[in-house]
A and B are shown apart, each in its own frame.
Chain A
Amino acid sequence: MYSTNYVIGFILILTSTVAIALTGLREGTKEQAALNEEIFNKRAILAAVNSHIPGGRSVKDLSDPEVIELFTNNIEQVTLNMQGEPVTTVMADKIDMGKERKKSESERLLPLFIYENEGEKFYILSVRGNGLWDEIWGNIALEGDLNTVTGVSFDHKGETPGLGAEIKDNPAFGKQFEGRKIYENGQYKSIDVVKGGVKNQSHEVDGISGATITGDGVAEMLYRGIKYYEPYLATLGSTN
Chain B
Amino acid sequence: MAENTLQTAKTKEPLMPFGKKERKLLTDPLSDNNPITIQVLGICSALAVTSLVYPSVVMSIAVIFVTAFSSLFTSILRNYIPKQVRMIVQLVIIATLVTIVELVLKYFNYPIYKQLSVYIGLIITNCIVMGRLEAFAMANTPWKSFLDGIGNGLGYGVILVAVGVVREVFGKGSLFAGSPIEMKIIGPNSDYFINTMTNEWFSWYANNNLMVLPAAAMFIIGIFIWIQRSINPKLVDIS
Contact = CB atoms under 8 A, between A and B. Distances in A.
Whether both chains belong to one complex is answered with: yes
Given A10-B80, A22-B99, A37 B110 contact: yes
B17 interface: no
B103 interface: yes
A36 B107 CA distance: 7
Interface string B54-91: 00000000000000000000000000111111001100
A1 B81 CA distance: 11
A162 B99 CA distance: 28
Contact of A2 (B82, B96, B106): B82
A162 B51 contact: yes
A32 B178 CA distance: 22
Interface in A1-60: 1-2, 6-7, 10-11, 14-15, 18, 21-22, 25-26, 29, 32-33, 36-37, 39-40
Given A2-B83, A7-B82, A18-B96, A161 B212 contact: yes
B212 A163 contact: yes
A227 B225 CA distance: 54
B15 to A, nearest CB: 24
A40 B111 contact: yes
Greatest chain A CB density within 10 A among B80, B110, B213 is at B110
B89 A14 contact: yes
Contacts of B111: 40
Contact of B110 (A14, A18, A36, A209): A36
B209 A22 contact: no
A162 B81 contact: no
Contacts of A36: 106-107, 110
A25 B108 CA distance: 13
B137 to A, nearest CB: 16
A210 interface: yes
Contacts of A160: 212-213
B169 interface: no
Interface of B: 51-52, 80-85, 88-89, 92, 96, 99-100, 103-104, 106-107, 110-111, 114, 118, 171-172, 177-178, 209, 211-213
Q: What are the nearest 7 A-B pairs in CB distance? A: A162-B212, A36-B110, A2-B82, A161-B51, A7-B82, A33-B106, A29-B107
